[in-house]
């Protein structure tokens, strides 16, 4: 702002263009108070602000999450016939004011769809509020106009396909992203894999058994996406978290599908994911599935105490306390410490079992 001070000392009278530039620079460099002082001085001089001035100030308010002031500013500036802009749309989106956001978007679309940022803002709002049909209509409009998607908009469109279980469209977009050299964000990749886990398995099961289906998917798009996730930082960790999430939600078939896809790629899921799935099997009284998974994991590599604890818990929940005790004794032989957690699980279930037996015998 030294240049502005020098202009003032030389009695240079700045015009609208100069003020707008200085306001923009002040906003971009985090000097909000200075930008607003310049705006007030601009008004005092009777200089009519431009769309550029308005956009700079709205962007400043948006950055500071002061959306009410942004909207109040726009109302004030409407007297100068200022037209809506992308910064105004972002403020409405942030406030989840869908009606005003749509009205602004329509004004911006007078000569065709606005820029990728505006399209992405409105689409994200639709997804956030669950308006999937409106999201579908906007995406269809973009496709009809051959609208070029940037990386962020690609991710948002992919999120819509995943939420709507549009497997074929998701696969096409994934191939398009790869072909154009764009990078999938890890959160979007997780959503894509979850869609496969929730939908591919049911599609396979219509035609054949699960084991054959799993054998036939080595070169599928699901595996390609999964491989791309594993190449990302913390990719395996995120895949394992997804297995745990699906298991906790009761989707044990989907969780196992993803677990077996990982192992088929030669990757060992962590003990936490395996333990969560085994615990859920026990909760569902699916002891056979829990035992198969435990035995398969134990045969291929050493498993930790978390997995043993999960199997002990599942055996107890399914009424197999003797087998649970035997597994508890086996833990030390396999190099696992029988810690307080294991003892607590076993004692808790044994106590309940003994109490149940006592009640039966006394009635």
Which pLDDT value is given to residue 9?
A: 58
Mean pLDDT computed over 270-277: 92
Q: How many CA atoms lie within 13 A of 142 on its CB side?
A: 23
**Domain boundaries along the sequence of the chain:** 1-83, 93-148, 149-269, 270-363
Q: How far apart are CA 236 and CA 27, in angstroms?
A: 41
Domain 270-363 matching CATH 3.50.50.60: the answer reads no
Which pLDDT value is given to residue 214?
A: 40
- Considering only residues 333 and 328, tell me which one the structure prediction assigns the higher pLDDT: 328
Percent of the chain whose pLDDT exceeds 70: 82
- Considering only residues 359 and 301, tell me which one the structure prediction assigns the higher pLDDT: 301
End-to-end CA distance of the chain: give it in Å, rounded: 90
3 state DSSP class of 301: coil
CA angle in degrees (0–180, nearest 5) for 308-194-97: 125
167 φ, ψ (degrees, to nearest 5):
-60, -50
Q: How far apart are CA 117 and CA 153, in angstroms?
A: 8
The least confident of 14-18, 157-161, 185-189, 337-341 is 337-341
pLDDT band for 45, please (50, 70, 90 cuts). Answer: confident
Query: Which range in 20-34, 151-165, 248-262 is most confidently predicted, on average pLDDT?
Result: 151-165
Is it the case that residue 6 has pLDDT exceeding 70?
no
Does the pTM surpass 0.85? The reply is no
* Burial classification of residue 247, based on how many CB atoms lie within 10 Å of its CB (0-12 exposed, 13-18 middle, 19 or more buried): buried
- Considering only residues 323 and 7, tell me which one the structure prediction assigns the higher pLDDT: 323
Which pLDDT value is given to residue 195?
A: 87
Q: What is the mean pLDDT of the chain?
A: 80
pLDDT one-digit tens code per residue, 70-126: 888 788 777 777 788 888 899 999 999 999 999 999 999 988 899 999 999 999 999
The encoded tokens of residue 315 equal 């055996």
Q: Name the nearest CA neighbour of 317 among 361, 360, 352, 274.
A: 352
pLDDT one-digit tens code per residue, 180-235: 888 888 889 889 888 888 776 554 444 444 344 444 443 466 778 888 888 888 88
Q: How far apart are CA 56 and CA 35, in angstroms?
A: 9
The least confident of 15-29, 90-104, 146-160, 242-256 is 15-29
How far CA 234 is from CA of 231, 277, 283, 333, in Å, comes to: 9, 20, 29, 33
Q: Which residue in this structure is represented by tokens 């999120």?
A: 159
Is it the case that residue 341 has pLDDT exceeding 70?
no
Cβ neighbours of 351 (radius 10 Å) = 10
Q: Name the nearest CA neighbour of 250 among 324, 195, 315, 198.
A: 198
Answer whether 120's CB lies under 8 Å from 86's CB. no
pLDDT band for 322, please (50, 70, 90 cuts). Answer: confident
């Amino acid at each position: 702002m030294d240049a502005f001070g020098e202009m003032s000392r030389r009695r240079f009278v700045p015009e609208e263009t100069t003020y707008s530039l200085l306001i923009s620079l002040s906003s971009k460099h985090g000097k909000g108070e200075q930008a607003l002082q310049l705006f007030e001085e601009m008004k005092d001089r009777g200089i009519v602000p431009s769309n550029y001035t308005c956009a700079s100030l709205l962007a400043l308010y948006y950055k500071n999450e002061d959306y009410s002031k942004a909207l109040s500013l726009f109302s004030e500036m409407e007297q100068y016939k200022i037209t809506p802009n992308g910064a105004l749309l972002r403020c409405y989106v942030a406030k989840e004011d869908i009606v005003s956001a749509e009205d602004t978007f329509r004004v911006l679309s007078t000569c065709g769809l606005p820029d990728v940022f505006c399209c992405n803002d409105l689409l994200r709002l639709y997804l956030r509020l669950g308006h999937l049909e409106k999201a579908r209509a906007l995406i269809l409009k973009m496709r009809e106009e051959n609208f070029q998607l940037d990386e962020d908009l690609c991710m948002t469109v992919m999120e819509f396909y995943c939420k709507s279980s549009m497997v074929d469209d998701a696969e096409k977009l994934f191939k398009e992203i790869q072909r154009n050299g764009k990078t999938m964000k890890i959160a979007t990749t997780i959503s894509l894999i979850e869609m496969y886990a929730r939908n591919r398995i049911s599609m396979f099961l219509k035609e054949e058994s699960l084991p054959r289906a799993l054998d036939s998917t080595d070169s599928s798009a699901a595996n390609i996406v999964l491989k791309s996730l594993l190449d990302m930082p913390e990719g395996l960790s995120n895949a394992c978290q997804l297995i745990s999430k699906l298991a906790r939600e009761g989707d044990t078939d989907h969780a196992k599908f993803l677990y077996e896809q990982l192992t088929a790629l030669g990757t060992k899921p962590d003990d936490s994911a395996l333990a969560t799935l085994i615990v859920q099997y026990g909760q569902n009284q699916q002891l056979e599935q829990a035992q198969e998974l435990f035995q398969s994991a134990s045969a291929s590599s050493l498993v930790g105490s978390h997995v043993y604890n999960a199997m002990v818990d599942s055996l107890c929940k399914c009424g197999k306390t003797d087998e649970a005790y035997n597994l508890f004794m086996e833990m030390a032989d396999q190099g696992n410490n029988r810690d307080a957690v294991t003892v607590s699980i076993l004692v808790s279930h044994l106590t309940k079992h003994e109490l149940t037996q006592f009640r039966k015998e006394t009635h």
